[in-house]
Structures are given as structure tokens and as C-alpha cells.
Structure 1
Amino acid sequence: MSHPSTANFEAVFLFDHERVARELLYTEFEAILDGFIPIPDFAGASVKAAYIQVGSGLAVTGLVFFLISFDEQGMVDRRWNVPLQQLLDSAGTGPDMGVGAVRLVCYSQCPVAWHQKNLWDPSMQVGNNSFIAIRDAVKANRLGFVVKAEKPAARSSRDAIVPNQVLSEEVLAREQAALEQRLHDYYTAELAKQIELLTNEQTLHIATLMNQKQAKLHGLQQEHQKRVLAYQEKLQQLAQENKELAERNQTLKETLDIQATKVEGMREYFAHKLKAAQQGESSQIQLLQENFSLELDAKIHAATAELREMLDMREVELFYRHQNESTLKEELVQLKHENQQLLKNSGDQLLGRLVKAGVNLVTFLPGLGEVAIPLDDIGVYLESPNAYAAAKVGVNEPVYLAWLAHHQLPCCNAVDARGKTCGRSIPVIETPLEFHPGESDRCAQHQAVALGMLADSRR
């Protein structure tokens, strides 16, 4: 098989857990994209890959870190479409990999925004550096590219040593001064290049760390949100069960009242029967009285004991339900507090370093414009941006939300007797402090009606 010259070397490396797992010529990668060659090792997976351009001497000159997905048969997803060479043509600078700064395209440094989701950030950790892994793999030259030896430059006749040449002290001094100036200029330029390369490399490293922190924070927020929703659902379920128990308790009380009414009716019945039997013998009357008392006491005792037992059971169940509800509410408050602490401390070291370096976190808040958010207020802002903006502007949150709805759609919100909204266009109130709900969101006609009703109410 013939190999292209390393002066125009293009290859694609596939990664597995931050190590180079497979090396392909770019022509082989194009064949994979065309659907001629499957890769069963990566079937059904999304793989990290790198498009590499190498110049003479096996020196890396350009890198694009991209993601590619394979189906269950190991074929590339036909929807994948990332213009690797075009992205590299407009790439920014990256670290020095032997011959100066390389051209680099990754998630944190993407010249075309809509392709960012198809890119990834290389690892720059000590002992797990993606750039070093690529450099070592290229130097190993397992793809078999021919390295052309560079011819030594011809020696200038000015640099040749002329035997027995004798220079005057003045000529030697001038040449020494010129040599010192050239060395000074050369090392100054090299130092500036090294500083620029280190600055670019650190900027890229910080950007990758920020993206990793944001991804981790996003995952923690999603997990926390799921837990909060689960607790809220459990709380609603307990509230529903509590409501059902209260209804059953009310039903039992009503049943007890009915039983008491029946007992009272039985008492009146036997009293009437006893009164009718008073005309009989005294012994028969005494017997009827004893039977009446025993039978009545037994029935009352049985009815009240059963109902009392049922009531006691329901009261115990209600007590435990209230205890569980209180515990869940305390856990929910604790989770919200932990969420604020998490939001505040998740990127505290990195955000603290950025703030010390002079970087401010600025956001746009309606009614205030661009506002710099202090590091301690980030958790409060993320918990409720509208409440944070309302506190900053000096109004409560309902007034701020009403002003925000008016600012987005300035129209009259008056409702007539039929429930129809007026909807006429009105002037926009630019600041929340000047906005008064029920007046500022009304047209001139409905403002006059409101003022008339207020005057009538004061008379």
C-alpha cells in the first residue's frame, strides 16, 4: 500500500477512555463515513475522535476533537455531518506540540456555534493528557507514513572560516555587539511566543474546566430536582391520605351520633313500656326494670366500645401522618438549603479565582439592565431570578411580575362584566418603581372609571 507524504498527512484517531484506541488514515475514515466499512468494536456507542493534520517531521499542526455515533451494526450514523477541514481552516490556536502553536477546534473553542454540540474538550490533566497521547501516537507512526530527512542548509560563505584571517579589535567589537543584539532579539521573540502559547494553553484549560464544572453542576441540579419532585409527590400523597382519614373520622363521628340517637330512642321505648307495665305486679315491674337496665347498658357499652376503638385507631393514624408530614417538610427545607449551598460552593474555588482576577458575573435583569452578581448572591439568583430582580429594584415579587408582563405586552388589562379583556395599547412604564397594578396597566378610559369608583367609595 502506498502512503502519502507526511507534508500533507491527515488521520483520524478514535479514543476509548482517554486513550487512542484506533488509528485511521483519513481516506479510511471517509470510507467508513460512506458506509463501506463497519467498526463492530464501537457498535451502538458514541465515540470521542480527533481529526489530525501533520506537517513534515511528523509534527502535529492541526486538531479537531469531535464526537461520532455508531449504530448497532457498527456503521456511522448517517445524520452525522461535521465539516472537519472547514472548521480547522477557521480554528484558533492551541498548545505547542513541537513546532509552535497548533490550530485547535474543540467544545470550548468552536468557530461555528451550531457544531459545538458535536465536539468535546480534550483532557489536560497530568498523566492523562489527550495532546500528549496524540503526539506520542503520531511519533510512533503506526500508520507507516514516510518521513523525509531534511537536507542540512548550505553553509554561507560569510560563516566560513578563512585561515589566517586577522581582524582588528574594532571589527571584532562591532561584530560582537551585532551578535549580542541578534541574540537579544531572537530570545525576546522566542520568550514572547512561549508566553503567548502558555497563555492560550491556560485559557483553554480554564475553559475546559469550566465546562466540566457546569456539566457536573447541571447533573447535580437535575438529580436534586428529581429528589425534590419525589418528596413533593410524597407530601401530596400524604396530604391526600390525611384528607381521606379526616373524612372517615367525620363519618365515624356521624355514625356515633346516629347510634346515640338510636340508643336514646330505645331508652324512650323501654321507658314507655315500663310505664305501661307499672299497673302490673311489683315483681314483674322490678324484673322488667332490671332487664331494661342490663339490656340497655350492654347495647350502649358495645356500641360505644366499638366506635371508641375505631376513633382511637383513626386518631393514632392521623398522629403518625402529621408526624411524617412534618418530617418531610423539614427534609424539603433542608434539601432547598443544601441546593443553595451546592450552587454557592460547587464552583467556589474557580469562581473565586475568576473574581480575584477581575472577572465579574454580569446578567441582564429587566428593569435594571446589566447587573453584576456578587459571588455570595449566585445561589439566591439561581433559586429565583425574578425575586432577586424584585429585591434589587425595590419592589415585591408580585409587583415586579405584573410590571414584567406589562413591559412585555403593554395593553389594558381591565375586564368588563362579561369577562372580556379591554386589550387597548397603553404607554410602557419603563421602571417597576413607577408601576402601580390596577392603574398603570389600564387605558385612560378605565383609569377614569377606577378613579371614579375610588372617589365614590370614600364618600
Structure 2
Amino acid sequence: MNKHTEAIIFFNTQGICKEMLMPEFEAILDGVVCLDELQGQAAKCAYVQIDEHLQIIAIVLFLLDFDQEGMADRQWNIPFKHLLPTAGQGPNWGTGPIKLVTQTVCTNDTYYASLWDSGTIESADELLLIKEAIKRNRLRIQGQKTATKKEVAPQERTDDQSILKIKQQIAQLKQLFNDELKRYQQALNKAKQANEELVSQNQALSMQLETQKQQFEDRNNYLTQLLKNAERKNRAELSIMQRQIELGRKFQTYPSKVC
């Protein structure tokens, strides 16, 4: 099975401005690493597949948006490997035409707006710039041995150790990010649960207050009716007493004659 290396190249108006291997690019997509130099930009990028002979076998020219803090768009998702089987033919640099996916050379309309075409830099062809960058091999991609073992091996071991450390640091950062995300999610769930309990308690208190209010109104109506009944009774008794007093006065005014 042929092995290949995946790299990502960033462009600006002057040419190539940044190169990285796929693990570093994945850290950017995960939000672990930001790119201050690309804040608020829609960056032109290239996904490049390189074989063990450091020959380019495929290129995908794509766009990636960065916010004002240099964080990559978290919604971005282009499946490079799924686009390559239907890719067009690019230039032949000695090993046959490379696979090429651009905005013009793309059979999948879903990703049309997320791609771009080469030829935007007046002073150079972006595809040739990619070829020269891979040839310079600043990413220290390991291919088949083409140099003297005494001269290259120590440097390669050092580079391997540096790349391994970077990968380990990226893995640690990813783990820290995931752990922190889990803690935030747990805290959010607890807050939601507490809020639901408060809402339930509030509803219960509201029902209790409504019941007490109804009971108070019923009690008040009952007492009001009792008071009205008592007032009517008192008026009747007072009226009777007044009649009796008046009759008593009449008898005193006209005493009965003694026969």
C-alpha cells in the first residue's frame, strides 16, 4: 500500500505564507491553535498529498474563514479524500498528471463555493509555488533516502524528535480542550437541572398561593355574610325595642281611670 503525507499550504497576495502538516491543521480546526496573522480573513489554502519520493500526487485548492481572533470556522468541513476520486487532471511533473480539485475542476456542487482557482497571483502560478515548496521540504517530510547517511541521519533524528514533540503537545492540548469542554458541559447540565427545579418549585408555590388566595376569599365572603345577617338581626331587634318604648310612653301619658 502506497503511503503518502498530507500537508496544508496557506497563501496571501505575495505567495505562500505558511506551511504545516495535517496534525497541526487539525489542531487549528479543533480550535486548539489560532493564527493571528489570518485574523478576519478568508484564507486561500491548498491540501497537498505527497508520496514517499516527495512527489506531489494530489492538490485541493480550498478556502477557510478565520474570525477576528484568528480562530478557524468551526463549521468548515471539506472531505478532501472524498473529492479526489472524481478530481480532474493537473500538471504532469514527471510522474504523470496529478489529481487536481479547484472551483472550476470540481464535480461536486456542494463544495463549489468553498474552493478557488489558481492564477490569482500575478507574479507566479500557485501550483508551481506549491511544487517548489514541497521540493524545498521545509516541513521535513521523510521520503526515501537520497542523501548520504552520515550527513542526513543526525538532522533527520532531530527533526523527527521535534515533530514527535509537536504532535505530543498537540495531543495534550486536544485532551485538555476536551476535558475542559466536558467540565463546561457538566456545569451547564447542572445549571439547567437547577433551573428546572426552581421553575418547578415556583409553579408549586404559585399554585399554593392561588389556593390560599381562594380560601381567603371564601372565608372573607363567609364572614361578610355573617356580618350582614347580624346587622339585619340587630336592626329588627332595635325596631322591636323602639316600638315597646313608644308603647310604654303612651301608657304613661294616659293613665287608666280608677272606677
For Structure 1 versus Structure 2, the TM-score category normalised by the shorter chain is 0.5 to 0.7
For the residue of structure 2 that corresponds to 1:128, the secondary structure is coil
Q: CA RMSD in A?
A: 1.9
State the match for 1:75 in structure 2: 71
Q: 1:131 to 1:35 in 2, by over 3 A?
A: same
TM-score where L is the length of structure 2: 0.53
Q: Verify: 1:103 aligned to 2:93, yes or no.
A: no
CA distance in structure 1 between the aligned counterparts of 2:132 and 2:8, rounded to whole angstroms: 14
Checking the alignment, whether the CA contact within 8 Å between 1:60 and 1:98 is kept in structure 2 is no
The code of the aligned residue for 1:69 comes to D
Alignment of 1:432-447 (within 5 A): none
Alignment of 1:89-238 (within 5 A): 89-123=85-119, 127-149=123-145
Match 1:16 to one of 4, 12, 36: 12
How far, CA to CA, are the matches of 1:125 and 1:36 in structure 2?
31
Partner of 1:280: none
Does residue 88 (structure 1) correspond to residue 84 (structure 2)? The answer is yes
Residues in 2 aligned to 1:23 and 1:55: alpha-carbon distance in whole angstroms: 17
1:73 is matched by which residue type in structure 2?
E
Letter in 2 for 1:79: Q
Q: Offset of 1:33 from its aligned partner?
A: 0.5
Q: Report how far residue 23 of structure 1 moved.
A: 0.3
The CA deviation string for residues 308-338 of structure 1, in whole angstroms up to 9 with x for no partner, is xxxxxxxxxxxxxxxxxxxxxxxxxxxxxxx
Q: 1:64 aligns with which of 60, 64, 80?
A: 60
**Structure 2 residue aligned with 1:25, among 21, 29, 50?**
21
Q: Is the 8 A contact 1:58 1:147 kept in 2?
A: yes
> CA–CA distance in 2 between the matches of 1:98 and 1:18?
27
| Distance change >3 Å, CA 127–CA 8, structure 1 → 2 | same
Give how far 1:129 is off. 0.8
Matched-pair contact (CA < 8 Å) for 1:54–1:62: yes
* 1:127–1:72 CA distance, 2 compared to 1 (3 A): closer
**How far apart in 2 are the matches of 1:125 and 1:78?**
28
Q: Deviations over 1:244-263 (max 9, x none)?
A: xxxxxxxxxxxxxxxxxxxx
CA contact (8 A) 2:61 2:117 kept: yes
May I ask how many residue pairs the two structures share in their alignment? Answer: 145
Please report how far the alpha carbon of residue 89 of structure 1 lies from its aligned counterpart in structure 2 after TM superposition: 2.8
C-alpha spacing 1:37/1:75, structure 2 compared with 1 (3 Å)? same
SS at structure 2 position matched to 1:110:
coil
Contact residue 13 and residue 24 of structure 1 kept, 8 A:
yes
Instruction: Give 1:26-425 correspondences, 5 Å limit.
Output: 26-123=22-119, 127-149=123-145
Cα distance in 1 between the residues matched to 2:45 and 2:140: 20
Identity among equivalent pairs (%)? 35
CA distance change for structure 1 residues 18 and 130 in 2, over 3 Å: closer, same or farther?
farther
- Whether the 8 Å contact between 1:93 and 1:103 is mirrored in structure 2 is yes
Distance 1:18 1:65, change over 3 A: farther
Q: Which runs of 5+ in 1 are unaligned?
A: 1-5, 151-459
Letter in 1 for 2:36: P
Name the one with the larger helix percent: 1
The SS at the match of 2:99 is: strand
Q: Kindly provide the amino acid, as one letter, of the partner of residue 101 in structure 1.
A: P
The CA deviation string for residues 20-57 of structure 1, in whole angstroms up to 9 with x for no partner, is 11001011111110111100100111000000001122
Match of 1:262 in 2: none
Question: Cα offset for 1:121?
Answer: 0.2
The answer to whether the 8 A contact 1:63-1:104 is kept is: yes
| Cα distance change, pair 30–117 in 1 and its aligned pair in 2 (3 A) | same
1:400-432 CA distances to partner (integer Å, 9 max, x unpaired)? xxxxxxxxxxxxxxxxxxxxxxxxxxxxxxxxx
1:111 is displaced (CA, Å) by 2.0
Contact 2:89 2:99 in 1 (8 A): yes
Deviation at 1:127, TM superposition (A): 4.5
User: Unmatched 5+ residue regions in structure 2?
Assistant: 147-259
Distance 1:144 1:103 in 2: 23
Displacement after TM superposition at 1:118 (Å): 0.5
Alpha-carbon deviations, 1:87-143, whole Å to 9, x = none?
123212111123110000001011211210000001188841111100000000001
Note if contact 1:33-1:76 (Cα within 8 Å) is conserved in structure 2. Answer: yes
Q: TM-score, normalised by structure 1?
A: 0.30
Counterpart residue identity of residue 10, structure 2: L
Bigger relative contact order, structure 1 or 2 (CA pairs below 8 A, ≥6 apart): 2
